[in-house]
Every structure is written in C-alpha cells, then in structure tokens.
Chain A
Amino acid sequence: RKEVEQDPGPFNVPEGATVAFNCTYSNSASQSFFWYRQDCRKEPKLLMSVYSSGYEDGRFTAQLNRASQYISLLIRDSKLSDSATYLCVVQNTDKLIFGTGTRLQVFP
C-alpha cells in the first residue's frame, strides 16, 4: 500500500465548477500536510498547508481529518488557469512523501 494515495483523475470540469480532491495517508505519526501544484513539465510548488481546523485561501479550501487520516482540497469557481496536477504531501520527520497527484483539466 502506498503511503499517500490519491485518485489520479483526470478530473475534467467546466469553468466555474466546484471540484474536490481527496487523499489518504497511512502513517498516523505524520506531522504536517500540504497540497502542492505541478504544471505540465514544471516543478512542484506549494499551494497551501493543511490544518485540522481547515484552511481557506480565496477559492481554495483544504481540510485535514487526523482520525480518518484523510486530506481534502476543494476548489470553487474553477478557472482555466487551475488546470494542473495537484499533489497531496505528507511530512514524516525530515522527509516529504508525495502522492502520485490528481490531474485537473478545466475547460471553457
């Protein structure tokens, strides 16, 4: 079983749609949690950190459920520029463990 699991997608949604990504992790001792974004043939970049209390940044909301070992990312009012791969990331001591990513394609 992979340490971080994500639905690979792709998710094809129209502009303005709301889309949700889910992620599960296996190590209950994991300390911190993140979503990274990766554009095609580019390097990953931090999108946002994830807290148990939830975190909202504009159209993006991330949530952590430690009991279920589950992380989510909600994107509201999708834009064409949101098309990318979204990576669920878990920190274990000095290392980040990356999920394989969920690909999002927003169409006009």
Chain B
Amino acid sequence: NAGVTQTPKFRVLKTGQSMTLLCAQDMNHEYMYWYRQDPGMGLRLIHYSVGEGTTAKGEVPDGYNVSRLKKQNFLLGLESAAPSQTSVYFCASSYPLARVAGGPHNEQFFGPGTRLTVL
C-alpha cells in the first residue's frame, strides 16, 4: 500500500517549457487535490476533483490545468512555465469530506511533494 505518490520528485524547467506532474493513490479515494506551498504563503489549493472525470478550480488555478481520467490518478499540467510557478507541489486525496458540521471527518493524505524550479 503506497498511499499517495508523486512523480517526479524534483524538476528544473526553463521559462516557457511545459510539463505534467502525476499523482497516484491506491486508497480508492474519491477526492483528489493539488496544492502549492511557498514560503510565508502556506498551502494554496490549485485545482481539485471530487470524482473521476470532474475537476474544479481552487484558489490559484491560473497557469495550470488538470485531468482526472482515472479515479486513482490526478494530473497537473503547466502549459508554459513561468518563474512564479517555482514552488513545492503537493497532491492529496481523501474520502468525501463531510458536508455536515460535526460530521465524520475524513483525513487528507498527502504525497511527498514535487520541488519545481522554473528558470
């Protein structure tokens, strides 16, 4: 049981290059998320998915696209990388979050992160 895995772990890009980050989970979770973490900014949600074939925008979606063709995979794409996208990217997955206050809490499990530098 690998949990949440991310590929690659490190990457250096030049401005304007494209790349795809892969997130995979083997816990049969419906929900998957992509975050970026920058010093002093905390974790910010880029895009998320509440099920296979569905995606939604988070707090900072510009410059990124996502796809969830299979339940266990969530891909994050950068079409034309910019230095402002230098960051640590975390993927996470969970069972559906409770909609009712005080309801059952479902933990988000995170991958180990991808460190991306855009020159």
Q: What is the interface of chain A, defined by CB distance below 8 A to chain B?
A: 8, 31-32, 34, 41-46, 49, 51-52, 87, 91, 93-101
Contacts and interface: CB of A to CB of B under 8 A. Distances in A.
B110 A32 contact: no
B100 interface: yes
B41 interface: yes
Interface string B58-71: 10000000000000
A87 B43 CA distance: 9
Given A32-B97, A43-B113, A94-B56, 18 more contacts: A31-B99, A32-B98, A32-B105, A42-B112, A43-B110, A43-B112, A44-B90, A44-B110, A46-B108, A49-B105, A93-B99, A94-B48, A94-B50, A94-B96, A95-B48, A95-B58, A96-B97, A97-B45
B31 A94 contact: yes
B79 interface: no
A52 B90 CA distance: 30
A10 to B, nearest CB: 13
B110 A100 contact: no
23 contacts: A8-B40, A31-B97, A31-B102, A32-B98, A32-B101, A32-B103, A32-B105, A42-B112, A43-B110, A44-B43, A46-B107, A52-B102, A91-B98, A93-B97, A93-B99, A94-B50, A95-B45, A95-B48, A96-B45, A98-B44, A99-B42, A100-B40, A100-B41
Contacts of B42: 87, 98-101
Contacts of A100: 40-42
Contact of B101 (A31, A42, A44, A95): A31
Nearest to A31: B101
Interface string B19-39: 000000000000101010000
Nearest to B56: A94
Contacts of A49: 105
Contacts of A31: 97-103
